């Protein structure tokens, strides 16, 4: 009985924010054309194992990405060609960071940490829609993939491993 | 060219090389010489046959050789359908397809519309094991049933159906099933009469030609049995056609029925049986020269006819089962065929029947040994495990047959070891008892034929096991990816899953990882999630999977295309109960 009460309490306490158990972004909305500081929150390892690398895929429309270095971790970026060209401060951008990797670290399951990068949102991103940043959390040979993107009309809560995302606000 | 046949019977060749060399015609004299002990061995051990009759024997051997290699395997089992069972389609498909475990011949293909009306599907083509069927009309929305009936290579019809819906599922329409009781009874009677004709008729003709001293007794009985078999053979063929097509008795005369029946392996049985019956009849009418070879060819034909079709002949390994069925059938014909002529001879002409009795009782031991050994091996192949004797209709019929056989063997042993010697010595009281006993033996033999004819309606445990081992398969097709998922065996319990994945346009899909998720929300069982391994043959596998309960499960494949992209495809899959 005690067990059930505890479980119910846990559901009540945590249920309001199921995202606690997932890898999420701290700020979950941003305006098109604005600068965005992305803070990836990693609440736990992969089934008890310590996290050794975090990789995030940069979606189309997110440009000029700069990761924040992190002591104890090696930061790398993967460059790639954008699907189209973007204007930023009078410059035309056609290539840029498509993936950011933090690796070589050791974040035990019982600790929490954040992984930060800064980016610009293209001015023409459609307001009202979601933009997702798929994340692969690696723990030695195990991995949790926060890469699921809900299909049209699908409830995000139904996903087991949802990708962190932001809601696009109208350009200010 | 002269033909010479040697029988391996243990009771014959002991001496008389002298007599062997004699021309056949000269030996007629000896057949009248009742108690000449030397005569009989000589006649069995070395006969000369004229080229014509020898040709007939050769023809039988040829028929046998044609029939033996790989005509039949097991019952065909359905592997996949398109549309898949339970599929919901957005629009009417242009064609349907059914894929079986072996090539089949289609018999009746029907589409049952949502309102219960039926549409015969007549345009189809066979492409290996796949049957492609054209859909002649645009289907309206609702649930349809694709009902099929095909002939598998062992000659037995196999049937089934697949449900699919256009737009959205509706209540499944009810297809009228034609389980015709009178047809089944007719099939059973036809089979019983055919057995009577083959065993009592052809076997009887053989005993008259080879064992009897005085060929008048039992002759009318044998002719009667032969005519009965000659009538039953085509009758049975027509019934087989009706059963294969699921047609009522009223359509008996239609050419399609007969054409269908002839295309089944039972067509061969009837064909060879007719030849055997005819040869036996000829042997009764034939001259002293042709009598024996004709009767022998008839007897061989009985074995060949039985080996050409049926559950036992279709079983694996073929090199063993077909010869065994042949031996079994031939031995039955030898034994049961001799009973009536022997009994009648003992009753009416006891003095002359003594030679008949002696020859029969000498030959019968090896024959019964062959009969028993072949029967036991075939039963083991068919039943597989003792529990199936009680669990299955086939097994229960076998038990009934064994009980009858026990009775028959008891009677036969008493006859052979207690009554034969005094009867041969001329004890009339014992002879009367022997006649009575032989009469009862014949009746039991008929009862056994009846039980064996009942096997026509019961698939053997062997075939049931093959059917149970068939995998449950589905094809999942989406824009991003498609997969063939096969769960084997397709019933609840310990299974293994095998998956082949491709891109939505049939291209190769190099997945980094595939996970199989089986869920059954209505059961209260948590989803079963298993990562698949890649053994290197292009498939993904999940071994040691346990599906706890049968029913309609949802199978989902999580295909990791790249580090950041996962494609999930799912479809329902039907898991049978064990």
β-sheet with B551-562: strand ranges across: B525-531, B513-520, B551-562, B565-575
Q: How many CB atoms lie within 10 A of CB B470?
A: 17
Residue B152 has pLDDT above 80, yes or no: no
Domain annotation covers residue A3: no
Domain annotation covers residue B430: yes
Same domain, B507 and B437: no
Q: Looking at residue B74, what is its pLDDT? A: 46
> Mind telling me how many Å the CA of B570 is from chain A's nearest CA?
14
Mean pLDDT of B383-400: 88
For residue B147, what are the domain limits? 78-166
Distance CA B458, CA B247 (A): 20
Q: How many CB atoms lie within 10 A of CB B120?
A: 9
* Cross-chain Cβ contact B563/A55 below 8 Å: yes
Tokens of B205: 């003709």
Query: Following DSSP, what letter does each residue of B402-444 receive, concatenated?
Result: HHHHHHHHHHHHHIIIIIHHHHHHT-HHHHHHHHHHHHHHHHH
Q: Is B383 in contact with B455 (CB distance < 8 Å)?
A: no
Same domain, B210 and B274: yes
* Cross-chain Cβ contact B564/A148 below 8 Å: no
Mean pLDDT of B399-407: 93
Average pLDDT of the residues of chain B = 80
B24 DSSP assignment:
T
CB of B563 less than 8 A from some CB of A:
yes
* Cross-chain Cβ contact B564/A147 below 8 Å: yes
Domain annotation covers residue A4: no
CB of A98 less than 8 A from some CB of B:
no
Categorize the per-residue pLDDT at B572 as very low, low, confident or very high, splitting at 50, 70 and 90: confident
Closest CA to B516 of B494, B489, B492, B486: B486
For residue B229, the SS3 value is helix
Cis-peptide, bond into residue A47, ω within 30° of zero: no
Pick the most confident of B102-116, B266-280, B412-426, B460-474.
Answer: B266-280
Return the ∠ at Cα B512 (arms to B511 and B518), rounded to 5°. 75
Same domain, B237 and B371: yes
A133-152 residues touching B, CB cutoff 8 A: 134, 136, 145, 147-148
β-sheet with A91-107: strand ranges across: A74-88, A91-107, A51-57, A135-139, A142-146
Q: Looking at residue A106, what is its pLDDT? A: 93
Residues 6 or more apart in contact with residue A15 via CB below 8 angstroms: none
Selected residue with higher pLDDT from B144 and B205: B205
What distance, in Å, lies between the first and last C-alpha atoms of chain A?
54
For residue B452, the SS3 value is helix
Same domain, B216 and B337: yes
B chain contacts of residue A146, beta-carbon cutoff 8 Å? none
β-sheet with B118-120: strand ranges across: B87-89, B157-166, B142-151, B105-112, B118-120
Distance CA A1, CA A8 (A): 11
CB of B565 less than 8 A from some CB of A:
yes
Domain annotation covers residue A13: no
Selected residue with higher pLDDT from A29 and B158: A29
> Mind telling me how many Å the CA of A13 is from chain B's nearest CA?
24
* Cross-chain Cβ contact B566/A148 below 8 Å: yes
Domain annotation covers residue B533: yes
Closest CA to B451 of B402, B382, B417, B406: B402
Q: Residue B353, CB half-sphere, CA atoms under 13 Å: how many?
A: 27
Query: Following DSSP, what letter does each residue of B497-565 receive, concatenated?
Result: EEEEEEETTS-B---SEEEEEEEEGGGTEEEEEEE-B--SSS-EEEEEEEE-S-EEEEEEEEEEEETTE
* Cross-chain Cβ contact A134/B560 below 8 Å: no
Q: Looking at residue A122, what is its pLDDT? A: 93
Same domain, B216 and B294: yes
B434-493 residues touching A, CB cutoff 8 A: none
Return the ∠ at Cα A49 (arms to A44 and A50), rounded to 5°. 70
Which domain-ending residue is among B431, B463, B495? B463
Q: Where are the beta strands (DSSP E) in B14-168?
A: 47-49, 78-82, 87-89, 95-100, 105-112, 118-120, 124-127, 130-134, 142-151, 157-166
Query: Following DSSP, what letter does each residue of B302-329 receive, concatenated?
Result: HHHHHHTSSHHHHSSPHHHHHHHHHHHH
> Mind telling me how many Å the CA of B503 is from chain A's nearest CA?
19
Same domain, B283 and B416: yes
**How many domains is chain A partitioned into structurally?**
1
Distance CA B254, CA B248 (A): 11
Pairing of strands A130-132, A74-88: unpaired
A chain contacts of residue B563, beta-carbon cutoff 8 Å? 55, 57, 136, 145, 147
Closest CA to A14 of A37, A44, A40: A44
Selected residue with higher pLDDT from B65 and B524: B524
Domain annotation covers residue A15: no
Domain annotation covers residue B19: no
For residue B472, the SS3 value is strand
A chain contacts of residue B565, beta-carbon cutoff 8 Å? 134, 147
Longest dimension (CA), chain A: 66
Closest CA to B411 of B441, B436, B376, B375: B441
Categorize the per-residue pLDDT at B11 as very low, low, confident or very high, splitting at 50, 70 and 90: very low
**Which CATH number characterizes residue A79's domain?**
2.60.40.2230
Domain annotation covers residue A111: yes
CB of B562 less than 8 A from some CB of A:
no
Looking at chain A, which residue has its C-alpha nearest residue B561? A147
Same domain, B363 and B297: yes
Task: Identify the residue among A147, A161, A163 best suited for mutation to test binding to B, counting B beta carbons within 10 A and taking the highest.
Answer: A147
Q: Looking at residue B218, what is its pLDDT? A: 87
A25 DSSP assignment:
E
Categorize the per-residue pLDDT at B213 as very low, low, confident or very high, splitting at 50, 70 and 90: confident
Task: Identify the residue among A138, A145, A152, A154 best suited for mutation to test binding to B, counting B beta carbons within 10 A and taking the highest.
Answer: A145
Domain annotation covers residue B29: no
Same domain, B345 and B226: yes
* Cross-chain Cβ contact A57/B566 below 8 Å: no
Q: Looking at residue B7, what is its pLDDT? A: 35
Distance CA B79, CA B473 (A): 7
> Which value does ipTM take for this structure?
0.77
**Which CATH number characterizes residue B439's domain?**
1.20.1630
Longest dimension (CA), chain B: 100
Which domain-ending residue is among B441, B463, B485? B463
Same domain, B326 and B188: yes
Domain annotation covers residue B55: no
Distance CA B331, CA B382 (A): 20
What distance, in Å, lies between the first and last C-alpha atoms of chain B?
61
Q: How many CB atoms lie within 10 A of CB B350?
A: 18
Domain annotation covers residue A164: yes
> Mind telling me how many Å the CA of B560 is from chain A's nearest CA?
10
CB of B564 less than 8 A from some CB of A:
yes
Which of the residue ranges A14-28, A158-172, B400-414 would you say has the lowest mean pLDDT?
A: A14-28
- List the helix and strand counts (H, then E) for chain A: 1, 12
Same domain, B440 and B354: yes
Looking at chain A, which residue has its C-alpha nearest residue B565? A147
Long-range contacts of B376-383 (CB under 8 A, 24+ apart): B377/B320, B377/B324, B378/B312, B378/B315, B378/B321, B378/B324, B378/B325, B378/B328, B381/B312, B381/B315, B381/B316, B381/B320, B381/B321, B381/B462, B382/B311, B382/B312, B382/B315, B382/B460, B382/B461, B382/B462, B383/B460, B383/B461, B383/B462
Distance CA B25, CA B31 (A): 11
> Mind telling me how many Å the CA of B514 is from chain A's nearest CA?
13
Q: Is B549 in contact with B506 (CB distance < 8 Å)?
A: no
B25-54 residues touching A, CB cutoff 8 A: none
For residue B484, the SS3 value is strand
Same domain, B233 and B352: yes
Tokens of B435: 């006649």
Size of interface A-B (CB pairs under 8 A): 17
Which domain-ending residue is among B463, B480, B511? B463
A chain contacts of residue B564, beta-carbon cutoff 8 Å? 55, 57, 134, 136, 145, 147
Selected residue with higher pLDDT from B13 and A7: A7
**Which CATH number characterizes residue B514's domain?**
2.60.40.1930
> Mind telling me how many Å the CA of B543 is from chain A's nearest CA?
21
Residues 6 or more apart in contact with residue B100 via CB below 8 angstroms: B76, B77, B78, B79, B129, B130, B131, B150, B152
Pick the most confident of A58-72, B231-245, B426-440, B495-509.
Answer: A58-72
Q: Is B226 in contact with B282 (CB distance < 8 Å)?
A: no
**How many domains is chain B partitioned into structurally?**
3
Q: Looking at residue B12, what is its pLDDT? A: 30
B chain contacts of residue A159, beta-carbon cutoff 8 Å? none
* Cross-chain Cβ contact B563/A148 below 8 Å: no
Domain annotation covers residue B6: no
pLDDT, tens digit, for every residue of B249-266? 777 887 878 888 888 888
Q: How many CB atoms lie within 10 A of CB A18?
A: 12
For residue A115, what are the domain limits? 20-169
Categorize the per-residue pLDDT at B20 as very low, low, confident or very high, splitting at 50, 70 and 90: very low
Residue B539 has pLDDT above 80, yes or no: yes
Categorize the per-residue pLDDT at B36 as very low, low, confident or very high, splitting at 50, 70 and 90: very low
Residue ranges in chain A assigned as alpha helix (H): 2-15
Domain annotation covers residue A8: no
Categorize the per-residue pLDDT at B328 as very low, low, confident or very high, splitting at 50, 70 and 90: very high
Q: Is B490 in contact with B472 (CB distance < 8 Å)?
A: yes
Q: Looking at residue B53, what is its pLDDT? A: 52
* Cross-chain Cβ contact B563/A145 below 8 Å: yes
* Cross-chain Cβ contact B564/A57 below 8 Å: yes
Residue B14 has pLDDT above 70, yes or no: no
Tokens of B338: 């001799």
Q: Looking at residue B33, what is its pLDDT? A: 37
**Which CATH number characterizes residue B105's domain?**
2.60.40.1220
Domain annotation covers residue A2: no
Same domain, B332 and B297: yes
Query: Following DSSP, what letter does each residue of A97-129 receive, concatenated?
Result: EEEEEEEEEEE-TT--EEEEEEEEE-TTPPTT-
């Amino acid at each position: 009985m005690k067990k059930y009460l505890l479980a119910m309490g846990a559901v009540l306490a945590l249920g309001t924010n199921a995202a606690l158990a997932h890898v999420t972004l701290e700020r979950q909305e941003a305006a098109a054309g604005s600068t965005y500081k992305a803070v990836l929150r990693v609440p736990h390892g992969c089934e008890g194992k310590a996290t050794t690398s975090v990789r995030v895929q940069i979606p189309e429309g997110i440009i000029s990405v700069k990761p924040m270095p992190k002591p104890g971790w090696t930061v790398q970026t993967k460059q790639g060609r954008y699907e189209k060209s973007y204007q930023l401060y009078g410059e035309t951008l056609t290539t840029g960071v498509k993936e950011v990797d933090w690796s070589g670290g050791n974040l035990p399951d019982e600790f929490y940490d954040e992984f930060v990068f800064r980016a610009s949102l293209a001015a023409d991103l459609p307001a009202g829609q979601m933009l997702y940043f798929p994340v692969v959390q690696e723990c030695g040979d195990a991995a949790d993939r926060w890469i699921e993107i809900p299909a049209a009309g699908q409830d995000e809560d139904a996903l087991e491993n949802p990708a962190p995302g932001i809601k696009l606000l109208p350009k200010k | 060219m002269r033909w010479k046949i040697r029988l391996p019977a243990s009771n014959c060749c002991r001496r008389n090389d002298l007599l062997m060399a004699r021309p056949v015609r000269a030996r007629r004299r000896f057949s009248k010489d009742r108690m000449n002990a030397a005569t009989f061995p000589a006649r069995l051990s070395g006969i000369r046959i004229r080229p014509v009759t020898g040709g007939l024997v050769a023809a039988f051997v040829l028929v046998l050789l044609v029939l033996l290699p790989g005509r039949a395997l097991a019952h065909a089992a359905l592997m996949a359908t398109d549309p898949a069972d339970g599929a919901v389609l957005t629009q009417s498909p242009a064609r349907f397809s059914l894929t079986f475990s072996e090539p089949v011949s289609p018999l009746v293909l029907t589409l049952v519309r949502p309102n219960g009306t039926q549409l015969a599907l007549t345009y189809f083509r066979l492409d290996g094991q796949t049957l492609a069927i054209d859909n002649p009309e645009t289907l309206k929305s609702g649930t349809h049933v694709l009902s099929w009936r095909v002939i598998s290579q062992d000659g037995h019809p196999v049937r089934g159906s697949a449900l699919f819906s256009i737009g959205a599922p509706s209540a499944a329409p009810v297809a009228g099933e034609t389980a015709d009781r009178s047809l089944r009874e007719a099939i059973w009677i036809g089979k019983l009469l055919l057995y009577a004709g083959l065993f009592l008729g052809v076997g009887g003709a053989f005993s008259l030609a080879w064992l009897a001293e005085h060929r008048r007794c039992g002759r009318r009985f044998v002719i009667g049995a032969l005519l009965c078999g000659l009538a039953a053979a085509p009758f049975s063929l027509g019934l087989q056609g009706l059963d294969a097509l699921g047609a009522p008795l009223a359509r008996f005369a239609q050419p399609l029925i007969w054409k269908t029946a002839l295309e089944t392996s039972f067509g061969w049985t009837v064909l060879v049986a007719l030849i055997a019956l005819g040869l036996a009849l000829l042997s009764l009418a034939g001259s002293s020269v042709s009598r024996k070879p004709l009767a022998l060819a008839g007897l061989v034909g009985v074995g060949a006819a039985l080996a050409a079709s049926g559950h036992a002949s279709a079983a694996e390994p073929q090199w063993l089962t077909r010869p065994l069925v042949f031996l079994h059938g031939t031995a039955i014909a030898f034994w049961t065929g001799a009973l009536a002529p022997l009994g009648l001879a003992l009753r009416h002409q006891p003095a002359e029947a003594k030679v008949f009795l002696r020859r029969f009782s000498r030959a019968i031991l090896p024959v019964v040994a062959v009969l028993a050994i072949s029967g036991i091996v075939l039963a083991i192949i068919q039943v597989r495990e003792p529990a199936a004797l009680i669990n299955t209709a086939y097994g229960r019929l076998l038990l009934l047959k064994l009980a009858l056989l026990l009775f028959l063997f008891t009677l036969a042993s008493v006859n052979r070891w207690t009554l034969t010697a005094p009867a041969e010595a001329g004890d009339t009281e014992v002879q009367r008892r022997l006649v009575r006993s032989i009469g009862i033996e014949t009746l039991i033999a008929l009862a056994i034929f009846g039980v064996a004819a009942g096997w026509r309606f019961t698939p053997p445990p062997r075939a049931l096991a093959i059917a149970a081992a068939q995998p449950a398969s589905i094809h999942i097709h989406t824009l991003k990816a498609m997969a063939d998922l096969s769960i084997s065996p397709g019933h609840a319990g310990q299974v293994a899953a095998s998956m082949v994945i491709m891109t939505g346009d049939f291209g190769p899909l190099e997945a980094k990882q595939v996970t199989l998720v089986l869920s059954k929300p209505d059961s209260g069982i948590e989803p079963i999630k298993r990562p698949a391994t890649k053994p290197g043959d292009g498939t993904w596998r999940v071994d040691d999977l346990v599906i706890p309960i049968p029913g309609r499960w949802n199978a989902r494949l999580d295909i990791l295309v790249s580090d950041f992209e996962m494609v999930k495809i799912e479809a329902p899959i039907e898991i049978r109960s064990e």
